[in-house]
């Protein structure tokens, strides 16, 4: 399985192609659109989301609502393109009028400066249009197709927010996806503790007034993933490494960990390893999940727990020092419209890239030309595991 996305933030559309989804999966477009709408929400979003109403168009690989086994092609229109049609015109040669929003003051923390240096762009808009997190809309659409495939295999996952700026969410750690979903749907922060919503809203509001921005911590839990996905046999077959790469590939993510995360470094081994248990008919399990469902680069059958740290949005209304790429004069960076925090949508994006990696691992492991073959293969494998 593989996927690719294309498209600029204010270009005509985002385009995505996924290869390797088995034939015979009933694809619910409303569910993809619901995920896209959820990604646009969350407290702390800026004004761009008032313009966009993301909806997916399926333009290949699906017939009468059922996947064909051929590449699936997806499109999401950028409604804001109507306001940028000349500046982002793919064909007309550059003129004095269609290059007016030229960016020559790179924003610290963004791809602007290094992207310009690498690709030799003198207008840094050529960089920021693609490095923008707008692209994550397509990763959510593709991720939702993968989530629907995983659901057909009885595997569920959810991403939520554990910390916004300095405020950590105090809640009993939950590993049941339905329970987590039920709690986080009660607020616009995707957090487990309803009592902390107001204080986090206040933090986001005061940060906005100060012209500043916030990051946070995200957690994804995946349930009912069979043991033995990934492998210990070579470093590049380890599934936790692939998941960490996919999560680091989400804009603004600066750290990834599993289970108890970096705390394991300071904890004695007896409190980190998950003791082994056995129940007749269910097979092996663990008495705890400190390691986040991975041993030796393989899933061990416990819920997968992935944590991600997101840096604050680098576009600030209180601009930081930069240097004009032409005059080399020191000045304040361009102020672009931005969100105060994107931790809420990022928690969904991280959930979706995890779904993509899990769907990849499963379609790589089992015969996956058709959904029925895939379901039969996994059912047989689950039986083998339960009887080991």
State the residue for tokens 């691992």: 361
Q: Which is nearer to ligand EPS, 111 or 244 (CB)?
A: 111
d(C-alpha 233, C-alpha 296), whole Å? 9
Q: Which is nearer to ligand EPS, 129 or 274 (CB)?
A: 129
d(C-alpha 41, C-alpha 47), whole Å? 11
Binding segment (CB under 6 A) for ligand EPS, from list 13-21, 44-52, 65-73, 235-243: 44-52
Q: Is 145 exposed, middle or buried (0-12, 13-18, 19+ CB in 10 A)?
A: buried
Long-range contacts of 63-66 (CB under 8 A, 24+ apart): 65/26, 65/27, 65/28, 65/29, 66/23, 66/24, 66/25, 66/26, 66/27
- Distances in Å between the Cα of 320 and the Cα atoms of 106, 212, 334 are 10, 11, 9
Verify binding: residue 132, ligand EPS, rule CB under 6 A: yes
Q: How many CB atoms lie within 10 A of CB 120?
A: 7
Cβ at position 339, least distance to ligand EPS in Å: 6
Binding segment (CB under 6 A) for ligand EPS, from list 91-99, 132-140, 175-183, 191-199: 132-140
d(C-alpha 241, C-alpha 229), whole Å? 12
- Distances in Å between the Cα of 286 and the Cα atoms of 229, 267, 279, 292 are 17, 19, 11, 11
Q: Which is nearer to ligand EPS, 250 or 305 (CB)?
A: 250
Q: Which is nearer to ligand EPS, 11 or 303 (CB)?
A: 11
Residue nearest to ligand EPS (CB): 48
The single-letter DSSP state of residue 8 is -
Cβ at position 110, least distance to ligand EPS in Å: 7
Q: Which is nearer to ligand EPS, 5 or 132 (CB)?
A: 132
Cβ at position 215, least distance to ligand EPS in Å: 13
Q: Which is nearer to ligand EPS, 163 or 341 (CB)?
A: 341
- Which of 260, 274, 339, 351 is close enough to bind ligand EPS by CB under 6 A? 339
Verify binding: residue 238, ligand EPS, rule CB under 6 A: no
Region 55-94 residues binding ligand EPS, contact defined as CB under 6 A = 80
d(C-alpha 252, C-alpha 246), whole Å? 13
The single-letter DSSP state of residue 27 is P
Cβ at position 177, least distance to ligand EPS in Å: 25
Indicate the pairing of strand 167-168 with strand 298-299.
unpaired
Assign 39 to helix, strand or coil.
helix
Q: Which is nearer to ligand EPS, 8 or 260 (CB)?
A: 8
Question: H or E stretch including 308?
Answer: strand 304-310
Verify binding: residue 337, ligand EPS, rule CB under 6 A: yes
Q: Report whether 217 contacts 190 (CB < 8 A).
A: no
Binding segment (CB under 6 A) for ligand EPS, from list 15-23, 117-125, 295-303, 334-342: 334-342
Number of residues that bind ligand EPS (CB under 6 A): 14
d(C-alpha 333, C-alpha 327), whole Å? 14
- Which of 257, 300, 307, 315 is close enough to bind ligand EPS by CB under 6 A? 315
Cβ at position 189, least distance to ligand EPS in Å: 17
Verify binding: residue 133, ligand EPS, rule CB under 6 A: yes
Verify binding: residue 48, ligand EPS, rule CB under 6 A: yes
Interaction site with ligand EPS (CB under 6 A): 9, 46, 48, 52, 80, 132-134, 137, 315, 336-339
């Amino acid at each position: 399985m593989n996927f690719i996305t294309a498209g600029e933030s204010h270009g005509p559309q985002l385009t995505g192609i996924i290869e390797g989804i088995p034939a015979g999966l009933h694809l619910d477009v409303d569910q993809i659109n619901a995920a896209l709408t959820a990604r646009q929400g969350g407290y702390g979003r800026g004004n761009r989301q008032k313009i966009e109403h993301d909806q997916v168009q399926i333009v290949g690989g699906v017939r009468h609502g059922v996947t064909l086994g051929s590449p699936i092609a997806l499109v999401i229109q950028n409604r804001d393109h109507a306001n940028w049609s000349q500046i982002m015109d793919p064909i007309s040669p550059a003129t004095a009028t269609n290059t007016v929003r030229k960016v020559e003051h790179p924003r610290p923390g963004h791809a602007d400066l290094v992207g310009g240096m690498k690709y030799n762009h003198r207008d840094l808009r050529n960089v920021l249009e693609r490095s923008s997190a707008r692209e994550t809309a397509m990763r959510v659409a593709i991720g939702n197709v993968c989530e629907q495939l995983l659901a057909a295999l009885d595997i569920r996952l959810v991403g939520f927010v554990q910390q916004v700026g300095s405020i950590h969410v105090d809640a009993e750690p939950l590993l049941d996806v339905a329970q987590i979903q039920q709690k986080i749907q009660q607020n616009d922060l995707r957090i487990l503790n309803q009592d902390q919503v107001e204080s986090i809203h206040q933090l986001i509001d005061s940060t906005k007034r100060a012209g500043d921005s916030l990051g946070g911590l995200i957690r994804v839990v995946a349930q009912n993933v069979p043991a033995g996905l990934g492998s210990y046999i070579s470093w590049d077959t380890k599934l936790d490494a692939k998941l960490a790469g996919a999560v680091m590939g989400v804009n603004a993510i600066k750290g990834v960990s599993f289970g108890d995360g970096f705390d394991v470094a300071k904890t004695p081994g007896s409190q980190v390893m998950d003791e082994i248990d056995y129940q007749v008919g269910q097979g092996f399990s663990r008495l705890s999940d400190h390691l986040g469902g991975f041993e030796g680069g393989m899933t061990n059958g416990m819920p997968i727990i992935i944590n991600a740290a997101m840096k604050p949005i680098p576009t600030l209304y209180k601009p930081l020092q930069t240097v004009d790429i032409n005059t080399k004069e020191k000045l304040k960076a361009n102020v672009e419209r931005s969100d105060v925090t994107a931790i809420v949508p990022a928690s969904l994006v991280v959930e979706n890239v995890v779904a993509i990696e899990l769907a990849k691992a499963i379609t790589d492991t089992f015969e996956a030309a058709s959904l029925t073959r895939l379901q039969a293969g996994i059912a047989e494998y689950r039986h083998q595991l339960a009887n080991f």
